[in-house]
Amino acid sequence: MNSEIIKKFCDLLGEERVFTGEAMSRHTTFKIGGPADYFLMPDKGEDVGRVIKICKEKEIPYFILGNGSNLLVGDGGYRGAVIQIYRNMSSVTVEGNEITAQAGALLSAVAAAAKNASLTGFEFAGGIPGTIGGAVVMNAGAYGGEMKDVLTEVTVMNAEGDIFTLPTEELELGYRTSIIKTAGYIVLEAKIRLKEGDPEVIRETMKDLTIRRTTKQPLEYPSAGSTFKRPEGYFAGKLIMDSGLAGYQVGGAQVSEKHCGFVINRGNATAAEILQLMKDVQERVKKQSGVTLEPEVKMIGEF
């Protein structure tokens, strides 16, 4: 690591927001991942742009991190800068039936704000373990709802550091994709529009969805949520189960017996073990059903 670069980051963000050799296992829901050379925590969009400018000038690879809920980081760590847009950029404000949330706001926090304001339409997202930024990029959805149903506009930053706002109709939102993902934009803020609802009905809906999640998903173990994308016409979890892989293990990595769509860290699993298990699952499912499973989990770093 370069002391001159560390000084540049510290001068920009303050020493308390700059870390070196930071274990990524502390910042992913898998609880897996080696050290990042630089771990940076800006608290405003402009500073994200300035950090990226330094990275480009010094030819340092960089990765934008939310709360690490859909991410597998290699055991060798990440040779570059991880820029975390999470707790320091997580404000949520409600005005009428509109909610404005910074990219680092957890979906659960946005859902709670909606519930407290008696606004309905965001209940589906309350249990998705991610940030609003990641949810917008991937057009996250659950239980019949998707981000595209409620988004009105998103403020993003492009690779040159320009900040601009895109209306929903320009986001090209599809199944787990968007123009933000394909163009490599960074989400800074999103606005959603909801409807007035009955507070009791909203509470009951969220309670019901929580019960459904806890009974059907292995939330007691570290994971990255659904490991594979849903193949057209199939369900990944059922394909894996029908291939006889429920409970299949590689070291500390396991296909959940509770929900085969989840690969879980049963304790001290390595990224290499997770990766090997995923490859084994893909091969078995392909052989059994002819369907190619595509990972939903993003992978970075040295494996």
CB 190 within 8 A of CB 154: yes
C-alpha of 135 from chain center = 7
Please say if 176 is a catalytic residue.
yes
Please say if 296 is a catalytic residue.
yes
Per annotation, catalytic residue among 226, 243, 256, 273: 226
Least Cα distance to 126 among 188, 218, 202 occurs for: 202
Please say if 50 is a catalytic residue.
no
Per annotation, catalytic residue among 176, 178, 189, 243: 176
Alpha-carbon separation of residue 104 from 67, 170, 172, 277 (angstroms): 8, 22, 22, 30
Q: List active site positions.
A: 176, 226, 296
